[in-house]
Chains A and B, each alone.
Chain A
Amino acid sequence: MENQFPIRQILDGEGNITDNSDELTEDLVKEMYRRMLRARTLDRKSVNLQRQGRIGTYAPFEGQEAAQIGSASAMEDGDWMFPTYRDHAATLTFGHSVTTIMLYWKGRVEGCVPPEGKNIFPPAVPIATQLPHATGAAMAEKRKGSDRVSIAYFGDGATSEGDFHEGLNFASVFKAPVVFFNQNNGYAISVPVEKQMNSKTIAQKAVSYDIEGIRVDGNDVLAVYFETKKAVEKARRGEGPTLIEAVTWRYGAHTTADDPTKYRDQQLSEEKRNQIDPLLRLERYMEKNGFWDEEWKNEVMNVCDREIEQAVEEMEAYPDADINDMFGHVFKEPVWTIEKQRDEYLSFKRGETV
């Protein structure tokens, strides 16, 4: 099966071109690098904020920037994105603000709300539940006669849940314009992929639904970008869903509440950096092709730092969470039980006796 689903790659870890069928321009390479640096800066800052107790538990993605950004860059305004709790690089690229993402981890519901005009669903916390949604939203676009598509993000562990299979099967039966974007980062918390499934690849699971399944080097932002683009365009043409397995790696913990040393060798994880890191390989490529510029990088870095520092300030200056938000959005029209509970609670808080 691994032979039938070879890993597609454009750039290897050394920054060498291994397949030049897609057009690379200096601008594209630099733009992808910029997006990845921005996301990595956000990720590292968030881990620090959690350690300082300024946000709650956080799910880091360092190492997965290429998978998320390459794929999200292939999406257009009006398309739909269904992320998990770890896909901030994807949602950032697609239009979320840094502040929104940070508010989510500060335990604020405002962190779920996408900017006006952007179809970004709140992060799915229960695993794999977003796959059928992506299929349904795509079915809706098809019925409306538009050429909009959905993308659903999920991890290797998610492929064990029934929702994964139901989402793919529906998409296949209804030829829904959806891209199922899997990030195979090797682990579902402590469970390595070899214990999660007996199949050698995730891409091969597409066979049973008679849809296209492809494997891509998830640390190669260019390969991810072009492969996702092809799948998206295929979906736009009405030719149905694709399952993409991006083979990647997350250096750090599952979340900041998790201790990875219990189940894997963190030293080895760090050593992988030099061989596979998505940012390093672009730097090397740029160097080899004569357009790497340390000064440019520092400039980009400074812009990212400033943006993120400002977002932290905004997050911390945010007005206190409004109790009315808890009661006010359960139904469109209020129901008496909730109104009564709210009124009694608010008058209790004001010290009035009821």
Chain B
Amino acid sequence: MKTMTEIKTNKLTLVQAVTDGLRTMLREHEEVLVLGEDVGQNGGVFRATDGLAAEFGEARVMDTPLAEAGIVGTSIGLAINGFRPVAEMQFLGFVYPAYEQIMTHASRIRSRTLSRYSVPMVIRAPYGGGIRAPEIHSDSCESLFTHMPGMKVVVPSNPYDAKGLLIAAIEDPDPVLFMEPMRSYRAFKADVPEEKYTVELGKGAKLTEGEDVTVIAWGNMVSTAQKAVDQLKDDNISCELLDLRTLYPLDKDLIAESVKKTGRAVIVHEAPETGGVGNDVLSVINNEAFLYLRSPVQKVAGFDTPFPFFSLEEEYLPTPERITHAIKKAVTF
């Protein structure tokens, strides 16, 4: 074990940490390939693949035609035949043409062939609102994929996790949807080790210790929830903030342990409430910690409406104020 002082770190943004993770894996494994629209010479519309085509060549960092079903379908073919493709969807809202390939093939080839074939691929996609993007660009449709047997769904909220989770996703033997919270892409920098490391899939993180209530969030909503949690310190409400990091499979032990301790929970997500991952979290709480609950679990979520045009996006997105309101409701029940 190296001690912290021996590990060389760089201050990186979340999107730079993604690039760093891709570079690390492209260097380490010949079979890792990066492909997608504009990922080559342009380095991706968010610069997530910046410099990779120059370093590794266009045979490994490939600009593809504009066709998501084609990108994912050919990635499946590459993956069953010895490669580890990392496919970029330019925005998660443009994954829909590829949905069929993911649903009908990527996620079930292992079970269809009793593990004779597997699909070790990663689909990366920026997602979420708050950057005044045009229509469709802001969708948070994670539950379409958590509902898909055979897919893992991962959402980092900070640069350290982004690199570690991405490397773990690429090494994972099964298909992983890797959602990148674009509002957090350049929001802040953090220390990211230069070397290769992983953050285990399926494990969440406890960001703050607290006594009164468990606040559960992921991706873009972690920093929003953090603001709410910080504000409530003045009201003497002590919150335990969990960042789920993986949405399938959920870290049920982390959720259960925390809710058993606090007896209350508030779930925050940006996606529409109905059919959202919040319901799966609720079900974990129900199964694991029902008798410890002191108030009904609250949810703060996006509405059951298409993500609005950006003139109304601030009305749609959960805010620290909506979250503090829900927390107070849970605590004063």
Contact = CB atoms under 8 A, between A and B. Distances in A.
Chains A and B bind each other: yes
B45 A189 contact: yes
A304 to B, nearest CB: 26
A52 B304 CA distance: 34
Contact of A125 (B63, B137, B315, B322): B137
B135 A125 contact: yes
B308 A109 contact: yes
B24 interface: no
Contacts of B65: 157, 160, 191, 195-197
B315 A337 contact: no
A161 B97 contact: yes
B325 interface: yes
B66 interface: yes
Contact of B37 (A191, A323, A326): A191
Contact of B134 (A125, A160, A323, A326): A125
Interface in B284-326: 303-306, 308-313, 315-316, 322, 325
A326 B316 contact: yes
Contacts of B186: none
Nearest to A111: B309
Contacts of B41: 190, 262-263
B66 to A, nearest CB: 4
A126 B273 CA distance: 24
Given A162-B97, A321-B311, A326-B305, A85 B134 contact: yes
B132 A107 contact: yes
A156 to B, nearest CB: 9
Given A125-B134, A189-B38, A160 B70 contact: yes
A335 B135 CA distance: 23
B303 A341 contact: yes
Which applies to chain B's interface (DSSP): helix, strand, loop or mixed?
A: loop
B315 A323 contact: yes
A229 interface: no
A295 interface: no
A96 interface: no
Interface string B42-82: 11010000000000000000010111111000000000000
A337 B304 contact: yes
Contact of B63 (A109, A195, A330): A195
Contacts of A258: 45
Contacts of A326: 303, 305, 308, 312, 315-316
A235 B43 CA distance: 43
A262 B96 CA distance: 28
B134 A161 contact: no
Contacts of A262: 41-43
Interface string B194-209: 0000000000000000
B283 interface: no
A235 B41 CA distance: 41
B42 A330 contact: no
Contacts of A57: 132-134
A330 B305 contact: yes
Contacts of B37: 188-189, 191
Interface in A296-346: 321, 323, 325-327, 330, 335, 337-338, 341-342, 345
A232 interface: no
B136 interface: yes
A107 B311 contact: yes
Q: Which 3 A-B pairs have the closest CB atoms?
A: A107-B310, A190-B42, A160-B65
24 contacts: A57-B132, A57-B134, A85-B134, A107-B134, A108-B311, A109-B308, A111-B309, A125-B134, A125-B137, A126-B94, A126-B96, A157-B65, A157-B66, A160-B70, A161-B67, A161-B97, A162-B67, A190-B63, A257-B45, A263-B42, A325-B312, A326-B312, A326-B316, A330-B305
Interface of B: 37-38, 40-43, 45, 63, 65-70, 93-94, 96-97, 132-137, 273-274, 303-306, 308-313, 315-316, 322, 325, 329
Given A111-B309, A196-B66, A345-B315, 8 more contacts: A56-B133, A106-B311, A162-B67, A188-B37, A196-B65, A330-B305, A335-B304, A345-B303
Interface of A: 56-57, 85, 106-109, 111, 125-127, 157-158, 160-163, 188-191, 195-197, 257-258, 262-263, 321, 323, 325-327, 330, 335, 337-338, 341-342, 345, 348, 353-354
